[in-house]
Structures are given as C-alpha cells and as structure tokens.
Amino acid sequence: MYIIGLEGTAHTLGIGILDEKGTVLANLMKTYRPKEGIHPREAANHHAKEFLPSLEEAFSTAGIDRDDIGLVAFSQGPGLGPCLRTVATGARALSLSLKVPLIGVNHCIAHIEIGRLTTDCDDPVLLYASGGNTQVIAFTRGRYRVFGETLDIGIGNMLDKFGRVHNIPFPGGPVIEKRAMKSDELIDLPYSVKGMDVSFSGILTAASNSKAPLNDLCFSLQETTFAMLTEVTERALAHTGKDEVLLGGGVVRNDRLREMVEIMAEERGAKAYAPPGPLCVDNGAMIGWTGYVMHEAGLKTPIAKSGVMQNFRTDEVDITWRR
C-alpha cells in the first residue's frame, strides 16, 4: 500500500507519497509567495490552482499509479481556514474517488512523527518554530503536550514582519540570518519569557522602531529570540527528564538557532536532531506518514468528521499509537 499526504495549513501546498516503511517516493511543495504577508484567500486560490497538476506530478515522480494508493491523509489543522478547506476538499474528493480511507492529521504532531521516523530520536522534546506556530511539545501521559508556546505571533511571522518594515522581501528569515552574520553588536531588546511561554510582539515593535544599523538589529533579534526559545526548550527537557531535542518548522533552518539548541543540549548531556531540510518545513510526506501511523492504530476520519479545525490543538489528540 502507498499513502498520499496532503498539506495545506498555510502558504505551502504539499503532496507527499510514501510506502508503508516510510520511504518517501515524492514530496512536492508548491509555495505561494506573496510580496508582503500571506493573504489567506489568495494562498487558498494558489493551492486550488496547483492541486491537480501537482497531484499528477507527484504520481509521476513516485512512479506509481493512483490506484496503488491505500490511504489519503490531510492536514486538518491548525492553520488558515481557506487554505485548510481547499486542501481538505481535495483530500475528500481523492479518498471518495479512490474508495480508500481518509485520515485527518494534526499538523504539529506530524512535525514530531516525521522526526521520529527520519532521525535517531525516539521520545524528543520538539521545538517547533515556524511562520505561524511556535511551540515546545513533548509526549507525556498519552498526549503530545504543549509545555510552552508563543502568546502572540509565531517567531517566523515576527521575522517576516520585521523584514517588511525594512524592505526585506518575504520570507524575511533567511535574509535576516545573512545580515546577522555581519554583526556582533548586541542591541538591548525586550527578552520576553513568561513562565514557559514566549511573546514576540513587543520585541517586534522595539526592533521595528529602532534606528540602529540593520545588521545589528538582525543579529540582536536572532540572539534575543533564539535564546528565549532555547531557554524554554531546556526547561521542558529538565521538567520531563527527556534527553532528546527535535527541531521542526521553517525557522529551524537557521544555523544560529540550531547552534544554540545544540550547545544547550550538549551541556546537559542531551542530543539535538533535525529531519532533512524538505521534511523539516511544511510538507505532505510528514502528513502522509503520520496518517499512516494513525491508520495502523485503527484510526480513520469519516467524511462527516473531516471538517477542518483552524485552532486544532496539539494536545487534543489521543496518541493511541504510542504507549
């Protein structure tokens, strides 16, 4: 049996095809690239337009026939409503026409399961840092629980918004990383850790209003916010007694963030892991794999329960496939 996974929580339409061992045969990503921030309706239109040609491309890359598909998995949330609905509609249509089960997947959990599949980690604390999401997640008592999270915007969103103020094209993160490398001047920015949670809006305002040189601001923004994430991740490790950190989300492509987390892990005798690049960002393969793991545990999503959930929480899902 082959599995198809459909991702559509935000700007990426992802189509992944895997076999039952988790070998990724195709992992196509079509990304809507706005000049400024994401407009949900426009992103959804992008996904609708790309859906059928991308499906054809994924089947041809995987070298399989659509009748070989035994399971359709889709990202049920959390994410932008119009994007989720568009891709869920495609998933329902595919499942009905192929007469195979449908399974709705929590996007954040998929970042963990693909990490458990593709790296040597088994029971990690996930630092999930992406455009829309920033959470520290770990498995305890039958659920993936959120130990800390952003109280306002996702870290990637903060970087992109800061970029927009300074005429850095979307997405701002990679450009900010390059500029940060040219500075070592730390400007004082608000360090905003509240309990186990973080917040970025005050930092964004302070950095956006500052008249300091742009490279210094980029450096300071990274140093400050990445230290916040590393601190909360370390506390989740200490609290749970786990010794593995898994990185996920677009922002963990950043070498400085990886370095900080790796140093922290090493200092406490833990290990840091990250899936290979295309499986680290939003992608269909991680949705497909998680759907398969859930399906093997006897789960499926009837059409009547396949509505999308914009605010689908990581800890709402009973993780029956793990002890």
- Contacts (CB under 6 A) with ligand AMP, residues 278-297: 281-282
Residues 64-123 that bind Mg ion (CB under 5 A): none
The Cα–Cα gap between 318 and 87 comes to 24
Give backbone dihedrals phi and psi of 80, rounded to 5 degrees, phi first.
Answer: -85, 125
Of the candidates 117, 134, 136, 116, the residue with the CA atom closest to the CA atom of residue 126? 136
From 173, 275, 284, 291, residue interacting with ligand AMP (rule: CB under 6 A): 173
Which letter does DSSP use for residue 181 in this model?
A: T
Residue 41 CB, nearest distance to Mg ion (Å)? 20
Cβ 209 to Mg ion shortest distance, Å? 29
Which amino acid is located at 146 in the chain?
V
Q: What is the secondary structure of 121-176 as a DSSP string?
A: -SSPEEEEE-SS-EEEEEEETTEEEEEEEBSSS-HHHHHHHHHHHTTPPSSHHHHH
Site string for ligand AMP, 192-231 (x = CB under 6 A): ----------------------------------------
306 is an interface residue for Mg ion by CB under 5 A: no
Question: Read out DSSP for 26-41?
Answer: EEEEEE---SSS--HH
- Taking the complex as a whole, the smallest distance from the CB of residue 199 to ligand AMP amounts, in Å, to 17
The DSSP line for 3-60 is EEEEE-SSSEEEEEEEETT--EEEEEEEE---SSS--HHHHHHHHHHHHHHHHHHHHH
3-class secondary-structure state, position 190: coil
Q: Which is nearer to ligand AMP, 34 or 190 (CB)?
A: 34
156 binds ligand AMP (CB under 6 A): yes
Query: Per rule CB under 5 A, is residue 134 in the interface with Mg ion?
Result: no
Q: To the nearest whole angstrom, how small is the minimum distance from the Cβ of residue 282 to ligand AMP? A: 4
Is 159 a binder of ligand AMP (CB under 6 A)?
A: yes
ω before 78 within 30° of 0 (cis)? yes
Interface region with ligand AMP, contact rule CB under 6 A, candidates 126-134, 228-236, 262-270, 300-308: 126-134
Which listed residue (7, 160, 244, 282) binds Mg ion by CB under 5 A? 282
Q: Where along the sequence are the contacts to Mg ion (CB under 5 A)?
A: 130, 282
Q: Where along the sequence are the contacts to ligand AMP (CB under 6 A)?
A: 10, 12, 130-132, 156, 159-160, 171-174, 177, 249-251, 253-254, 281-282
